[in-house]
């Protein structure tokens, strides 16, 4: 499917067995390739991707990063630059991001910055990356005070979602990805939310037809939003549903203690509760969302960081303006908008929905 962005337009390709099909890579630059991946993904897929790319590229190089959100920082980004420069790469080099959201964000930011920008291709291997982070051109690293605070917009040349990579995905990672799938229903397509309610067991069982539909519909929604608002001046902010609370959870616990999708799940429940408190949507929306996330095996409450800690972290969020915290909140079934909420209303929601143990999830 296309992501129509004028001269920066590209395609999202979804299917099984894509890597072995030469058509998947057709039209991409034929200079050097630098595959950026991590230790976990490399063990499963690095050799296969290198073999596939060798048919097109002059050289296929690679760098294997440590795994996890805790490594999404300056030192890891610097290691990618070291690999590019140390291998004699030039502005015709194409960077391939092979992995989940962390790899995609780091590799994309490196591609955006190296020699002021080189092409890159997203090859997501997690459900979360296939339905969300690989699409849209957001790249970033974390700072100890906030998630994704340092980065750039840099659109990929292509996104290749091979469903075969989901067969080796740990169940916890699959559940975390489902949070980003579920997210699209309350903000853009309530019928899709209802489809998720009916098909959640099939998704958890990794039935190919269900996964294909979920990935395609999620990408369709995100591609439509990105095409209308590439740099998040207005509409694209609806994709941050659950993320203001969620990013505070990740930073407050320490990056990687809860997975991104787990933090977003708890954040969506709190955002839906805040929406109901402000009279934007009925509390029945929060109830159904909470029930579906529970069926996914995801958190439905935030950790007990304390209201003042949450508020302080959310004021550091990149969506905050002049100290005002901005929340993406449902405005009904399949509609959302960005709102500033009084601190007292936020505290009331946190008092009720942010009482989970401060501990790593399994």
Q: pLDDT, tens digit, for every residue of 57-106?
A: 999 999 999 999 999 999 999 999 999 999 999 999 999 999 999 999 99
**Residues 144 and 182 reside in one and the same domain:** no
State both tokens at 314: 């959310």
Going by C-alpha positions, the residue among 198, 193, 180 that lies closest to residue 284 is 193
**Residues 156 and 28 reside in one and the same domain:** yes
CATH number of the domain that residue 176 is part of = 1.20.1090.10
Q: Is 197 exposed, middle or buried (0-12, 13-18, 19+ CB in 10 A)?
A: middle
How many domains is the chain built from?
2
Q: Is 55 exposed, middle or buried (0-12, 13-18, 19+ CB in 10 A)?
A: exposed
- pLDDT score at 322: 65
**Residues 177 and 150 reside in one and the same domain:** no
Measured in degrees and rounded to the nearest 5, phi and psi for residue 109 equal -65, -40
Q: Is 183 a catalytic residue?
A: no
Q: Is 250 a catalytic residue?
A: no
| Active-site residue, from 69, 173, 175, 180 | 180
Is residue 361 in a domain? no
- In angstroms, the CA 351 to CA 344 distance is 10
**Residues 8 and 152 reside in one and the same domain:** yes
The domain containing residue 19 runs over which residues?
A: 2-168
Residues with Cβ within 8 Å of 57's Cβ and at least 6 positions away in sequence, in order, are 30, 31, 32, 33, 94
Is residue 358 in a domain? no
Q: Token match 């929060």: residue?
A: 286
Which pLDDT tens digit goes with each residue over 3-46? 999 999 999 999 999 999 999 999 999 899 999 999 999 999 99
Is residue 360 in a domain? no
**Residues 275 and 219 reside in one and the same domain:** yes
**Residues 196 and 164 reside in one and the same domain:** no
Q: Is 230 a catalytic residue?
A: no
Q: What is the mean pLDDT of residues 145-165?
A: 94
Rg (CA), the chain: 20
Q: Is 240 a catalytic residue?
A: yes
Which pLDDT tens digit goes with each residue over 14-25? 999 999 999 999
Domain final residue, candidates 141, 168, 195 = 168
Q: Is 73 a catalytic residue?
A: no
Domain final residue, candidates 168, 188, 213 = 168
**Residues 189 and 102 reside in one and the same domain:** no
Which pLDDT tens digit goes with each residue over 183-232? 999 999 999 999 999 999 999 999 999 999 999 999 999 999 999 888 88
- In angstroms, the CA 303 to CA 354 distance is 5
CATH number of the domain that residue 10 is part of = 3.40.50.1970
Task: Indicate the pTM of the whole model.
Answer: 0.94
Is residue 76 in a domain? yes
Is residue 179 in a domain? yes
| Active-site residue, from 154, 158, 247, 277 | 247
Which pLDDT tens digit goes with each residue over 253-277? 999 999 999 999 999 999 999 999 9
**Residues 254 and 180 reside in one and the same domain:** yes
Q: Is 318 a catalytic residue?
A: no
**Residues 194 and 342 reside in one and the same domain:** yes
User: Half-sphere exposure (CA, 13 Å, Cβ side) for 279?
Assistant: 0
Is residue 322 in a domain? yes
Would you say 107 and 80 are in contact if contact means Cβ atoms under 8 Å apart? Answer: yes
Domain final residue, candidates 143, 168, 193 = 168
Which pLDDT tens digit goes with each residue over 275-300? 999 999 999 999 999 999 999 999 99
Q: Is 236 a catalytic residue?
A: yes
| Active-site residue, from 158, 183, 260, 326 | 260
Is residue 33 in a domain? yes
| Active-site residue, from 69, 173, 232, 250 | 232
**Residues 88 and 148 reside in one and the same domain:** yes
């Amino acid at each position: 499917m296309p992501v129509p962005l004028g001269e920066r337009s590209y395609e999202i390709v979804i299917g099984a067995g894509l890597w072995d099909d030469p058509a998947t890579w057709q039209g991409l630059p034929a200079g050097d390739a630098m595959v950026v991946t991590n230790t976990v993904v490399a063990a499963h897929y690095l050799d296969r991707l290198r073999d596939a790319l060798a048919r097109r590229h002059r050289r296929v190089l690679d760098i294997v990063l440590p795994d996890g959100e805790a490594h999404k920082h300056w030192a890891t980004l610097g290691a990618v630059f070291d690999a590019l420069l140390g291998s004699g790469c030039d502005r015709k080099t194409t960077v391939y991001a092979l992995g989940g959201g962390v790899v995609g964000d780091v590799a994309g930011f490196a591609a955006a910055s190296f020699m002021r920008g080189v092409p890159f291709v997203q090859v997501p291997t997690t459900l979360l990356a296939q339905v969300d982070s690989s699409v849209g051109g957001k790249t970033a690293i974390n700072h100890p005070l906030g998630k994704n605070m340092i980065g750039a917009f840099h659109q990929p040349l292509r996104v290749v979602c091979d469903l075969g990579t989901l067969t080796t995905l740990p169940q916890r990672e699959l559940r975390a990805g489902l949070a980003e799938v579920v997210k699209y229903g309350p903000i853009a397509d309530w019928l899709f939310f209802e489809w998720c309610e009916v098909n959640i067991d099939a998704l958890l069982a990794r039935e190919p037809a269900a996964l294909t539909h979920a990935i395609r519909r999620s990408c369709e929604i995100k591609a439509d939003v990105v095409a209308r608002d590439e740099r998040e001046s207005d509409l694209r902010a609806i994709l941050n549903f659950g993320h203001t609370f969620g990013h505070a959870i990740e930073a407050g616990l320490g990056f990687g203690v809860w997975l991104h999708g787990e933090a977003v799940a708890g954040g969506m429940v709190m955002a839906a509760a805040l929406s109901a408190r402000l009279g934007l949507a009925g509390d029945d929306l929060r109830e159904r969302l909470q029930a579906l996330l529970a069926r996914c095996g995801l958190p439905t409450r935030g950790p007990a960081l304390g209201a003042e800690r949450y508020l302080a972290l959310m004021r550091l969020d990149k969506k905050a303006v002049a100290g005002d915290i901005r929340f993406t909140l449902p405005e009904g079934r399949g509609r959302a908008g960005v709102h500033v909420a009084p601190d007292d209303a936020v505290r009331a929601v946190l008092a009720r929905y942010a009482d989970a143990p401060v501990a790593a999830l399994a």
